[in-house]
Amino acid sequence: MSLTRIHNLSISLDGFATGEPQSEEAPFGHAGERLHQWMFATRFWDSGGSAGVDDAFAERHERGIGAEIMGANKFGPPGWQDDASWQGWWGPSPPFHTPTFVLTHRPRPPVEMEGGTTFHFLDASPAEALEAAGAAADSQDVRIGGGASVVRDFLAAGLVDHMHLVQVPIVLGRGVRIWDGLEALEEDYDIEAVSSPSGVTHLTFTRG
């Protein structure tokens, strides 16, 4: 059966998956790239990187995924909807390599990129988006790609089978927090924590 999965979602100690304000120059606001340094140091990201526990988690991002769903705030900076030429942050060959569904209240026609990524734009509820992505995923799993508010919406709707968070030892103080509105989330999941020598802690949530 096809699963809905979240991978490599990095958060601060205080639960923020991005800082503020977000802009084209600073996609993660005052967080910069501090939430993602752990990943840049893995072999998944850089062939000269580490192959330890951080890498073991990181590389699962790709495996068995047939489609991604992402929020408007992941696809572009505030206001990208006003720029008809905006095709995401990732250049002509985005790293998704699957149908990729962008949730936005202002949908536009699909865009086929190089390397197997096609962006589809949907104004839809989490359940509707998951139905569309599941149909496009060729019996493989669907990844919820973020950002934090989209992840929260899918969790609140009970639609997530597996979630991998990476807690980075910084206190951001402001931004978009993953935890709001998720009281008692632990009742639906087996939760495991493992700290890495890099300083981050991997948290996995597996539907019980």
Residues forming the site for a copy of itself (CB under 8 A):
13-15, 167, 169-174, 179, 181-186, 191-195, 199-201, 203
C-alpha–C-alpha distance, residues 66 and 135, integer Å: 10
Q: Which is nearer to a copy of itself, 4 or 167 (CB)?
A: 167
Min separation Cβ 20 and a copy of itself, Å: 11
Min separation Cβ 131 and a copy of itself, Å: 27
* Strand segments (E) across 39-90: 65-71
Q: Which is nearer to a copy of itself, 84 or 184 (CB)?
A: 184
Q: Which is nearer to a copy of itself, 98 or 167 (CB)?
A: 167
57 close to 200: Cβ distance less than 8 angstroms = no
Q: Which is nearer to a copy of itself, 53 or 132 (CB)?
A: 53
Q: Which is nearer to a copy of itself, 45 or 205 (CB)?
A: 205
Q: What pairs with residue 189 in β-bridges?
A: 207
Min separation Cβ 187 and a copy of itself, Å: 9
110 close to 102: Cβ distance less than 8 angstroms = no
Min separation Cβ 196 and a copy of itself, Å: 8
Min separation Cβ 41 and a copy of itself, Å: 16
Beta carbons within 10 angstroms of residue 90's beta carbon: 13
Residue whose token pair is 């330890």: 52
Quick one: DSSP state of residue 85? T
C-alpha–C-alpha distance, residues 152 and 155, integer Å: 5
